[in-house]
Amino acid sequence: MEKIEKANAEALRRLLAGDPVLVDLVPAAEAIEGLGKHHILHAGPPISWERMCGPLRGAIMGIAVFEGWAKDLKDAAAKAEAGAFRFEPNHHYDTVGPMTGMTTQSQPVLVVENRAFGNRAYCAINEGLGKVMRFGGNDAEVLARLAWLRDTLGPALGCAIRETGGIPLKPIIARGLTMGDEMHQRNVACSSLLLRILAPSLARTSKDGEALARCLDFIGKNDQFFLNVAMTVGKALTDPAGGIEGSSLVTAMCRNGTDFGIRVSGTGDTWFTAPVEMPVGLYFPGYTANDANPDMGDSAIVETVGLGAFAMAAAPAVVGFIGAGRASGAARFTRSMGEITAGNNLEWTIPLLDGLGVPTGIDIRLVVETGIVPNINTGIAHRKPGMGQVGAGVVKAPMLCFTQALEAFAAKLGVVY
């Protein structure tokens, strides 16, 4: 239908025309309107405490203690059970978060402004590897690190980012794609490129050499530091493409460990959900698929803008890392995602494919027609609260989300699919 083609062309134009710039880093309560006490934003579509998986509950218990809303983990669980906390998706507040995706008032958040459209998006700082809250960790070590992020790294980074006057992020991602990053499982290039931009400003705004050294060390040793930046970019790019009447392009994909949810431009803020699948991949020594929680996190926002599994051809090393076959077969992942997307991003190209742009703009019609669902590169959390990461792999978005969305989309347009 011509109306749909026109609407999709406009949605794709907006997706591609965005200009995401890292402009600030401030406590969440300052950036996110309406975020207050006892208010916990989480990854994925809406979900009640009763239906939450282990790691999501673990993270909520931890963050409630961190914010001073509970005296210990047990107290936090009891309070959650009793309805003392307000749970809402990050996505309802222009925000995203990896895995459990905790966002609460005192955590520092990255602020990315899409200068082409004026909207802003937010995401907490990446905590590094090991035992971390995004994988459901909630012990003293996890909370102490969050306190250091809040009290030391966050303020230092905030000063440095403001001193730069804003860091355009599209060129960094473009370069990362020529350096083996796909911005989901692998962010080592972009993390390093961002650090070398930030380091001089950190030095200029720091008053304490040892604290500065610790900040540089923390970022420098965290290959996934840029993941949260890339996710904020994804959110900043997709929001302006939402709410276009007649557009069948996906504007969000996310998971809360129980449900997978998508949003489609033409159907606005409605979530289409289905049970989330189990990632297929590699486990850390001592763990198996029996330990794994179904997939979680808002991080699939990077696939929504053509990165992650969609850009696998740029990152042959990732294919082996997540146990998805031979490195030389990386290109087939990208080509396959090209079957379900509306176009290619000519600013984000893949050298190995002779400059082909990453496939962008998932069309729910193409997903249903071809039977090809989006692939998502992902980490794997332990299914019990407090345990952390046990592996990494690839997960498929459930087809049911797309068939439901297409039915609603067609009904709204008064057509039959």
Binding residues vs a copy of itself (CB under 8 A): 175, 178-181, 188-189, 192-193, 195-197, 199-201, 203-204, 206, 209-210, 212-214, 216-217, 219-221, 316-317, 320, 326-328, 330, 351-355
- Minimum Å gap between C-beta 346 and a copy of itself is 15
Between 116 and 352, whose beta carbon lies closer to a copy of itself?
352
- Minimum Å gap between C-beta 246 and a copy of itself is 38
* Residue 232 near residue 123 (C-beta atoms within 8 A): yes
- Minimum Å gap between C-beta 219 and a copy of itself is 7
Q: How far apart are CA 221 and CA 27, in angstroms?
A: 23
Between 301 and 318, whose beta carbon lies closer to a copy of itself?
318
- Minimum Å gap between C-beta 156 and a copy of itself is 11
Q: How far apart are CA 148 and CA 132, in angstroms?
A: 13
E strand or H helix that includes residue 4: helix 2-17
* Residue 23 near residue 350 (C-beta atoms within 8 A): no
- Minimum Å gap between C-beta 167 and a copy of itself is 12
Between 73 and 315, whose beta carbon lies closer to a copy of itself?
315
Q: Kindly write down the DSSP assignment for every residue of 195-262, as one continuous string.
A: HHHHHHHHHHH-S-HHHHHHHHHHHHT-TTHHHHHHHHHHHHHHGGGSS-TT--BEEEEEEESSEEEE
* Residue 119 near residue 94 (C-beta atoms within 8 A): yes
Cα angle 159-348-14, degrees, rounded to a multiple of 5:
80
Between 105 and 222, whose beta carbon lies closer to a copy of itself?
222
Between 95 and 201, whose beta carbon lies closer to a copy of itself?
201
In angstroms, the Cα distances linking 409 to 11, 45, 91, 265, 272 are: 15, 19, 20, 9, 11
E strand or H helix that includes residue 6: helix 2-17
Between 226 and 402, whose beta carbon lies closer to a copy of itself?
226
- Minimum Å gap between C-beta 25 and a copy of itself is 19
In this structure, how many other beta carbons lie within 10 angstroms of the beta carbon of residue 328?
10
Between 222 and 265, whose beta carbon lies closer to a copy of itself?
222
Q: How far apart are CA 181 and CA 158, in angstroms?
A: 25
- Minimum Å gap between C-beta 40 and a copy of itself is 33
Going by the DSSP 8-state scheme, the letter that residue 350 receives in this structure is E
Between 195 and 400, whose beta carbon lies closer to a copy of itself?
195
Mapped onto helix, strand or coil, the DSSP state of residue 59 is helix
Whether the CA torsion 148, 154, 160, 161 is positive or negative: it is positive
Between 166 and 320, whose beta carbon lies closer to a copy of itself?
320
Between 214 and 332, whose beta carbon lies closer to a copy of itself?
214
- Minimum Å gap between C-beta 223 and a copy of itself is 10
- Minimum Å gap between C-beta 190 and a copy of itself is 10
* Residue 26 near residue 111 (C-beta atoms within 8 A): yes
Picking from 399, 338, 367, 114, the residue whose alpha carbon sits closest to that of residue 241 is 114
Q: How far apart are CA 104 and CA 122, in angstroms?
A: 12
- Minimum Å gap between C-beta 49 and a copy of itself is 41
